[in-house]
Amino acid sequence: LAYESTPLRNGYQDDYLGLAEVLFPQTWNPGDQILFDGASIAEEGISHLPPNFRVAKLYENCPNASWPTCILEDKPTVLDSLDAGYGFVHHLGHGFINTMSVGRADQALTNADADACANGNETFVLYAINCTSSAIDFNCISERYMLNPNGGSVASIGSTRFDFPSTGWSYQTEFFRLVFETGLHELGHAAAGCKLPFIPLSLQDNTHRWTQFTQIYLGDPSMTIFTMPPADLVVTHAATHPLGAPTFTVTVNSGGNPVDSARVCLHKPNDEYAVGLTDALGQIVLPFVPDSTGVTQLTVVADNMVPYLANVTVTAPAAPYLYAADQSIVDNGTGASIGNADGKIDAGEFIELSLPVRNRGGVLATGVTATVTSLSPYVTLTDSVSSYPSVSPGTQVNPGDPLVLSVSRTAPDRTEPVIRVTWQSAAGTIVEDVVLYLHAPVFQWYRQFPRDTTGNGNGNSVFAPNEDVTLRVELRNAGLGQARDVMAVLRSTDPAIVINDSTVSFGTLSGGSLAISRPSDTFRFQMTDTTGLALNGKKLRVSLYDLYSPSTALGSFLVDAQTPTDAFSGLTARGAESAIALLFTPASTIDLAGYNI
């Protein structure tokens, strides 16, 4: 929090420290052949840095004409540099759970060094291409740098297991490009985004797939990195906000210029929340309609800017201020209600809805009524007016009569319809939008069991012409709403299919439940001609109805007259370190939903 909310002004944020050693051979000494030098990866990363960055290079392979400004990497120099304070630290070397190598003769940073790091508030972002330093299932060194109370790091990217530097190099390039060239300063977003281009290369068990899983980000994913010394914001806004005012205006400037795309947030706990971005003029008009007086926090953030925080006081108007303080739902069959008595709004029900009203204004509200209209095609008001007794300042009262609304049976599950409430009192009119929450069942075809074990059937599961077949089915209600008195109806347009029993009753299906038809209540049919049956050429259609929709189908499923006979074949399994591969010849059935493994 301190890194973002109270950043230092000394300019350390755009100081880069590169720590690179010769990767292969691991026991390299001057004069030996170099197979892979971590300094090459560091130099490529440096090429993406903005020109304002000051760069310090501590390389094991130094002096070297390829990077003439380098300094020889050794542990004392590295420790001194970390204590001095850098905004970005880049480690390219060998590592383990509790070590990060920093030079010849097996010199390495340890957990104790991470604990002793004394850079104070000049905390750094660490990007590490090394093995295991971010193994969060152990006491790893990356965590120790982050947990250092006297400094250390503020965020890090590294590997939880082995690191393949030639592969990790590509991910580093994309991360540096996103952060330092495209301006994607939200670190969690950049850490995830740098993996996206390589997903197509990660389908097999290879180093890309490994890196997708082992490279992780430690820190607040929404934290933004400073890529230059932070500047101050000049924010203009009202100090107070009266109840009932529809919007709040904020203007953001810095250095005399408007700040485009600054994020502005108004937050009144347990009451109201609004957020948005400023336009090219540095302005934003936020819809902000709190229900109560008190303090609202205003926060403004922008890239490479010091966040602005202020309090805005929500004040009570002299006139009455009325709003819906709650929702009371009756669906138990009393009054005008028709429902399942669960106290929730379900598709197909008639609801008695009471909106208790609270007065946050400064004077008594008299002659209070609420007139409601629906802004949703799924809700219809059959009684749209409620009357209220007088409402004293700071008090809440219930209506004398409820609203009545009907909910369409076709309303989707989890719909949030809006009703508009016009509060009328002797003092005037207040308009408020109230959000409702609807539940509805969602039918899924789960399983089917065709059998030839009744009537003239011989029980061999091979359906012959004119043989009696029963079809037992299982449904799933994947919605939140309860389905009442569910009825399934079987039909077919195939003249060879003769349906003898076309209905099955499932009763009531609660949200998330499964229901299978009873053995004594199944579909029954015969086929006068079974030609094409083995190729799933005989189709049946099952339509579903319930109490609230007895004549209009709520769901319809086209199913085969028998279970698929064309199974997959040649199944083999192959295990690898990070994957299990299943190989088989797929079934040729064109309408097969999938395989149950």
Q: Is the pLDDT of residue 536 over 80?
A: no
Question: Using one digit for the tens of pLDDT, what is the confidence trace for 324-361?
Answer: 999 999 999 999 999 999 999 999 999 999 999 999 99
User: Long-range pairs for 569-572 at CB < 8 Å and ≥24 separation?
Assistant: none
The answer to whether residues 447 and 541 belong to one domain is: yes
For position 458, what pLDDT does the model report?
Answer: 94
Looking at the fold, whether 390 and 481 belong to one and the same domain comes out as: no
Return all residues near 256 (Cβ < 8 A) that are at least 6 apart. none
pTM for the full predicted model: 0.76
The number of distinct structural domains making up the chain is 4
Q: Which of 113, 112, 122, 128 is nearest to 23 (CA)?
A: 128
Task: Kindly state whether residue 374 falls inside one of the protein's structural domains.
Answer: yes
DSSP 482: P
Q: What is the pLDDT of residue 585?
A: 86
Residue range 570-577: average pLDDT? 84
- Which CATH number is 15's domain given? 3.40.50.1460
Q: Confirm if 52 and 60 have CB atoms less than 8 A apart.
A: no
What would the two tokens of residue 101 be? 């190598």
Do 144 and 81 belong together in one domain?
yes
Determine the structural domain holding residue 461 and report its residue range: 443-560
Looking at the fold, whether 81 and 196 belong to one and the same domain comes out as yes
Say what the pLDDT of residue 566 is: 64
Q: Estimate the crossing angle of helix 38-46 against helix 165-176, to 10 degrees.
A: 10
Q: Is residue 572 part of a domain?
A: no
Is the pLDDT confidence value at 534 over 90? no
Per-residue model confidence as pLDDT tens digits over 179-202: 999 999 999 999 999 999 999 999
Look at residue 590 in the predicted model and tell me its pLDDT. 64
Half-sphere exposure of 527 (CA within 13 A, CB side): 24
CATH code of 259's domain: 2.60.40.10
Report percent pLDDT > 70 for the chain.
Answer: 97
Per-residue pLDDT tens digits for 136-183 = 999 999 999 999 999 999 999 999 999 999 999 999 999 999 999 999
How far apart are the C-alpha atoms of 453 and 275, rounded to whole Å?
64
Pair (204, 84) in one structural domain = yes
- Round the average pLDDT of the chain to a whole number and report it: 95
Looking at the chain, the whole-number percentage of residues with pLDDT higher than 90 is 88
Other Cβ atoms within 10 Å of 338 Cβ, number:
17
E strands in 165-324: 215-218, 234-237, 240-242, 247-254, 257-258, 263-268, 272-277, 283-287, 294-301, 308-315, 322-324
Give, in order, the Cα–Cα distances in Å from 386 to each of 179, 200, 438, 485, 498.
56, 60, 22, 33, 56
